[in-house]
Structure 1
Amino acid sequence: MPSEHPVQAPSIPAPSIAAPSSRTPERSRNLWRLRPYLRPHRWRLVLMFSTAMLGVGVSLSVPLVTRSIIDGPVTRRELDLLVPLAFLALGLSIAEVLLVWIRRMAQSRTVSDLEASLRHDLYVRLQSLPMEFHTRWQSGQLLSRVTTDLSTIRRFMGFGLLFLVMNILQLAVVTILLLRLYWPLGIVVLAAAVPIVTLSMRFEKKYLKISRQVQDQQGDLATRIEESALGFRVVKAFGRRRHVQQQFDGEAISLYNTTVDKVRLASRFWSFLGVIPNLTLVIVLLLGALAVGRESITLGTLVAFITLMLSLVWPVTSLGGILAMAQEAMTAADRISEILDTHSVITSGPLELTNSRGHLRFEHVGFQFSDDSSEILHDINLDLTPGTTLALVGATGSGKTTLTALVPRLYDVTAGRITIDGHDIRELTLNSLRTAVASAFDDPTLFSMSVRENLTLGRPDATDAELQEALQVAQAEFANDLPWGLDTRVGEQGMSLSGGQRQRLALARAVLARPAVLVLDDTLSALDVHTEALVEEALRRVLADTTGIVVAHRASTVMLADQVALLQGGTITHVGTHQELLATVPAYRHLLAAEEEEVHA
């Protein structure tokens, strides 16, 4: 086991599929689709917005009480009214604090549940989408949607949306109050709103576009980081650290420049929003003082007017931040909707496959990735009776892996059909099909969890005796000697193990599932000759009771099979025993000879 990767302690218990684009929609309204996630919390939402509106009403009542104090007890020396009015103001302030506390309690629970539900549905959707989707999408783009974009939506729903509603309500109510208190000054305040509204509409369009660009670049950068982390051994082995660093720097600088443009745009807008209220306040103070001097209004009215107007400073200056947050949330919702609105073309059928015998047939099977791509496989015909093992032989790139991926429906055939026990696999439930078919791949994937958890992915109820039997077949007993035995965590991608160890654990996982059909896609390629011989000897016993498809490159692996199929030009050209094909098919003989030369070289 490589010493540079120490093992870890055991853990404590639709639209067509397309790659993401960097499109920048003029208008996104995908936040509207969050309604189903908010519906279960409608009473908390009602409580949240009700307390918010009451809080606005209470806060705006304080300036009116202040006017009554100035124009009454202060101006007229009616001191007996001072104490009741002071207690009224105090009571209003306490009520406002309580309303804020209730609102935040309801708000935090609702937003947390919304984020958790969205994250759950996103993960479930990603798991349900076929291989075609995941081969076209960058993992970093998916990761940024499940993390960064969800956080953006949470922040807006937990802060921006509520204060957007509160600020609009406060602006409307205060404007009406100002007009009622002294309409000439109210007109001045109303006139100041015109440039703010005009600029806000222009800002919204520009910020939506640049927000989408930043979020897409964040996804690209996340992909770059993930690839560098997973491929660090290749980078170090080829001495390409500086080259990879330059690639990262290039994308990071692009993201930095776009982010600076975004900040610059927001700063200009926010600066403008800061100037207008202050300029308006100066004009109102000047005109208000003149009005008091002419006795057009009382001093208390002017104080109330100024106080109410100052209450507009926060709604106006925060407008830029809230609009920016809204645009980011809209683009985030748009990016998340690209996943939620994508539906798998591989759907579960109605039939439940039970007690499968493993009779597998390929009937004129063809496959191509898309309508505008060339056909990879065509007119594949095979009949594997229960217990038959077929070795699939072909040149690199001939379509062997694609053919084996059709059996568990990682991809769906585009022509013909595949049957198990006479049932078209497209009519079977995916769960029962993938219980009957187990696969082990040449590039095995192990998850960052214990060896035991990795092995029992396909069969959670396996006993310790069955685990040990599967490990013995795969010659993977080394797992028992790990620091914590089968409870040892193998690290991300199983990088704490060698390639051969990962392959043997993946083989043990497939064997443990006890499938009716076992698909082995060149799973012995990383084994030495001695270990390969031991594994093949054990596999013969397993394959005797299972229908097997073995992708083979070596003559020793071919010997496991009852029959051999030669794949050439996207179709099966010859089927027979190893000896028959070796004697009668020059292409087969040449292919195995070339493979053996590569092995010995």
Structure 2
Amino acid sequence: MIKMRLIRLLKGAGQYVVYQILWQWLSLLVQIVIVWNIAGLIEDAGKQGIRTERILVALGIIIPGLLLRFVCDRLYTAASFRASADVKRILRGRIYQKILRLGPSYREQIGSAELVQMSGEGVEQLETYFGRYLSQFFYALLAPLTLFFVLSPIDLRTATLLLLAVPLIPLVIMLVMLVAKRLLSRYFDIYYGLGDSFLEKLQGMTTLKIYQADRAAADDMDRESERFRKITMKVLTMQLNSTSVMDIIAYGGAAVGIVSALARFASGELSLAGVLMFILLAAEFFLPMRILGSFFHIGMNGMKASDRIFAFLDLPEPEVGKAELGTGNIDIRMEALSFSYEESRPILKGITLELPAQSFVSLVGVSGSGKSTIAGILMGRNRGYGGSLRLNGEELSRVSTESLMNHLTMVGHDSRFFRASVRENLLLAKPEATELEMKEALRKVNLLSFIEAQGGLEMQLASNGSNLSGGQKQRLALARALLHDTPVYIFDEATSNIDAESEEMIMKVIHELTKSRTVLLISHRLANVVGSDNIYMLKDGKIAEAGSHAELMRQAGAYRRLFEEQSQLERFAGGRRDSHA
């Protein structure tokens, strides 16, 4: 079970595998010297008694030999650790670099849960593979040959018998491999599936509780966990059974060799020292291969983990754009833009629109009409679009990801915050931002006084900002976006599901941005888009109407009907609030 691609990929860690083999082999040679001295000492005692000089000579070899074996074992452990550390560093670095090359659209090709499991458990499997299994594989081949070379001059027949019995262990390993390959494939499929399911249900726990579907979700998890338990027990049973068989072969083979040596000694064909050498070293023919057998499941797990990792590393990468957008404002033009997540389900159907530099453009329409898909394409999250999308005359697909991120900022309705201080979350947008700049951004969104009352910029946020209200989270997201300071801002339902005060504050900041930036506003609430230079109303992936608010109202089409319906509902809701007051 040696995968050359894996070894080539991790050539930096390969040297430590060689060191492990070297230290084990040197330890074996030292053990042979120690056994030879002990056997000679016992033979001398049986023949003529032991002289003090002979004992001192033997001790002068045995004691340093034991110390040398201890040093070799420590060096082997150190090399094993270095190999493991290098594997984790190299592989996780490769996975990270692959994610960067895939760009913002990487989630189109791999799930987040699988990626986390691959970077965690998958890499850990290969850490053990390189740290223990690989060196043991080569040492298990080298040790019997070394012992045969040493013992064959003493008694060729017994040494040959021991050497011929050693391949029985890898034969068992090969038979087990035929069963294990399919079993481990199922094991990892179920394992990664369980991780995806668990993450999905954990993230949706609030929704499950609201609709009292948490019990059904828990039952689903129980069933999936039971499947995983059963497949795990099958893997463990297979490993236990194979270990038992290998023990029988290893110790049985050593016993056969010892019996052969004793028979040769009884017939006078082998000296006392010779028979003691075979008795004390017979097990060493089999133990390296036996230990390899115990690492067999590690090797198989490592192979399956490497298959997953290589499948990810082999994912087709989008053509990397290298064009830079330069400084200044950005003009955006879309012509016959089309996109579909699945071939049979087109989302955008020939969208043509313009976002001139320093303009305020809005996208409106019912849910599913394609508004957020356009934002995703602009941010590089949705690739493989048809038609043309140009920024300052440069096709989006030719623009480098770094340049795109430096010129466009998007604020959605679910901006992510990390369990850290407010300062650390703000510095994500501008690492070199001063305290004055961060406070000014917070002041603009009317959040500074609240933050200062909670400890200032060192205020600690809970996971995803759960210790903030919905409106406060959105205002903090806007403050972070202001620090990024890019020529283009995209607001995708940034005012949905928040209180009226926060919505008003956010819209005030957005209107201020329109004086010097290109702003694309996606909103379900038409009252927020009234001041736009141009409004595009999408329906079924197409532009149904376009124009300013006044122009669309004069057209008396779908936009006007939706606007009047929303206005009537808001007046009704306002009247009800007044009557309750």
Q: TM-score, normalised by structure 2?
A: 0.91
Which of residues 145, 158, 170 in structure 2 aligns to 1:172?
145
Taking a change above 3 Å as real, the CA distance of residues 580 and 107 of structure 1, as seen in their structure-2 partners, is same
Contact 2:17 2:131 in 1 (8 A): no
1:33-432 equivalences in 2 (<5 Å): 33-39=6-12, 44=16, 46-77=18-49, 79=51, 80-345=53-318, 347=320, 349-369=321-341, 372-412=343-383, 414-432=385-403
Question: How far apart are the structure 1 equivalents of 2:182 and 2:569?
Answer: 53
C-alpha deviation, 1:58, in angstroms: 1.6
Taking a change above 3 Å as real, the CA distance of residues 482 and 589 of structure 1, as seen in their structure-2 partners, is same
Which residue of 1 is the match for residue 441 of structure 2?
470
Taking a change above 3 Å as real, the CA distance of residues 464 and 281 of structure 1, as seen in their structure-2 partners, is closer
Which has the higher mean CA deviation after the structures are superposed, 229-238 or 565-574? Answer: 229-238
SS in structure 2 opposite 1:211? helix
C-alpha deviation, 1:396, in angstroms: 0.8
Taking a change above 3 Å as real, the CA distance of residues 118 and 597 of structure 1, as seen in their structure-2 partners, is farther
SS in structure 2 opposite 1:185? helix
Question: How far apart are the structure 2 equivalents of 1:81 and 1:391?
Answer: 98
Question: How far apart are the structure 2 equivalents of 1:184 and 1:120?
Answer: 53
C-alpha deviation, 1:436, in angstroms: 1.0
SS in structure 1 opposite 2:367? coil
Contact 1:51 1:102 in 2 (8 A): yes
Taking a change above 3 Å as real, the CA distance of residues 320 and 589 of structure 1, as seen in their structure-2 partners, is same
C-alpha deviation, 1:479, in angstroms: 5.0
Taking a change above 3 Å as real, the CA distance of residues 352 and 97 of structure 1, as seen in their structure-2 partners, is same
Taking a change above 3 Å as real, the CA distance of residues 290 and 383 of structure 1, as seen in their structure-2 partners, is closer
Contact 1:364 1:417 in 2 (8 A): yes
Question: How far apart are the structure 2 equivalents of 1:214 and 1:593?
Answer: 57
SS in structure 2 opposite 1:567? strand
User: Aligned partner of 1:289: which letter?
Assistant: L
SS in structure 2 opposite 1:369? strand
User: Aligned partner of 2:401: which letter?
Assistant: L
Tell me, yes or no, if structure 1 residue 447 matches structure 2 residue 425. no
User: Aligned partner of 1:214: which letter?
Assistant: Y
What's the CA shift string for 1:327-360, capped at 9, x where partnerless?
A: 111111111222222243152x222222231211
User: Aligned partner of 1:219: which letter?
Assistant: Y
User: Aligned partner of 1:174: which letter?
Assistant: L
Which residue of 2 is the match for residue 24 of structure 1?
none
Taking a change above 3 Å as real, the CA distance of residues 491 and 120 of structure 1, as seen in their structure-2 partners, is farther
Which has the higher mean CA deviation after the structures are superposed, 126-135 or 100-109? Answer: 126-135
Question: How far apart are the structure 2 equivalents of 1:536 and 1:31?
Answer: 58
Question: How far apart are the structure 2 equivalents of 1:413 and 1:506?
Answer: 29
C-alpha deviation, 1:203, in angstroms: 1.2
C-alpha deviation, 1:131, in angstroms: 4.8
User: Aligned partner of 1:230: which letter?
Assistant: Q
What's the CA shift string for 1:465-509, capped at 9, x where partnerless?
A: 433343344343465146332222322222222322222222222
What's the CA shift string for 1:394-447, capped at 9, x where partnerless?
A: 111011000112222222352222222222233322212211111011222222
SS in structure 2 opposite 1:515? coil
Q: CA-atom RMSD, angstroms? A: 2.6
What's the CA shift string for 1:72-110, capped at 9, x where partnerless?
A: 354243634343133222222222222222232333233
1:549-564 equivalences in 2 (<5 Å): 549-564=520-535
Which has the higher mean CA deviation after the structures are superposed, 29-38 or 557-566? Answer: 29-38
Taking a change above 3 Å as real, the CA distance of residues 46 and 202 of structure 1, as seen in their structure-2 partners, is closer
What's the CA shift string for 1:197-224, capped at 9, x where partnerless?
A: 3221111232233233323323222333
Question: How far apart are the structure 1 equivalents of 2:546 and 2:2?
Answer: 57
Question: How far apart are the structure 2 equivalents of 1:85 and 1:272?
Answer: 39
C-alpha deviation, 1:555, in angstroms: 2.3
Which residue of 2 is the match for residue 493 of structure 1?
464
Taking a change above 3 Å as real, the CA distance of residues 113 and 516 of structure 1, as seen in their structure-2 partners, is same
Contact 2:553 2:559 in 1 (8 A): yes
Taking a change above 3 Å as real, the CA distance of residues 283 and 412 of structure 1, as seen in their structure-2 partners, is closer
Which has the higher mean CA deviation after the structures are superposed, 99-108 or 396-405? Answer: 99-108
Taking a change above 3 Å as real, the CA distance of residues 534 and 545 of structure 1, as seen in their structure-2 partners, is same
User: Aligned partner of 1:274: which letter?
Assistant: D
Taking a change above 3 Å as real, the CA distance of residues 443 and 321 of structure 1, as seen in their structure-2 partners, is same
Contact 1:361 1:419 in 2 (8 A): yes
Taking a change above 3 Å as real, the CA distance of residues 560 and 435 of structure 1, as seen in their structure-2 partners, is farther
User: Aligned partner of 2:245: which letter?
Assistant: F
How many residue pairs end up in the alignment?
571
Name the % identity.
22
Q: TM-score, normalised by structure 1?
A: 0.88
Question: How far apart are the structure 2 equivalents of 1:175 and 1:542?
Answer: 82
Taking a change above 3 Å as real, the CA distance of residues 455 and 30 of structure 1, as seen in their structure-2 partners, is farther
SS in structure 1 opposite 2:99? helix
Which has the higher mean CA deviation after the structures are superposed, 559-568 or 179-188? Answer: 179-188
SS in structure 1 opposite 2:419? coil
User: Aligned partner of 1:581: which letter?
Assistant: L
User: Aligned partner of 1:429: which letter?
Assistant: S
C-alpha deviation, 1:595, in angstroms: 4.8
Which of residues 533, 539, 550 in structure 1 aligns to 2:504?
533
Question: How far apart are the structure 1 equivalents of 2:403 and 2:104?
Answer: 19
Taking a change above 3 Å as real, the CA distance of residues 397 and 478 of structure 1, as seen in their structure-2 partners, is farther
C-alpha deviation, 1:598, in angstroms: 6.8
Contact 2:257 2:278 in 1 (8 A): no
C-alpha deviation, 1:272, in angstroms: 0.6
C-alpha deviation, 1:34, in angstroms: 4.3
Contact 1:221 1:252 in 2 (8 A): yes
SS in structure 1 opposite 2:346? coil
User: Aligned partner of 2:476: which letter?
Assistant: L
C-alpha deviation, 1:279, in angstroms: 2.6
List gaps (5 residues or longer) in structure 2: 574-581
Contact 2:471 2:502 in 1 (8 A): no
Which has the higher mean CA deviation after the structures are superposed, 526-535 or 146-155? Answer: 526-535
User: Aligned partner of 1:119: which letter?
Assistant: R
C-alpha deviation, 1:389, in angstroms: 0.6
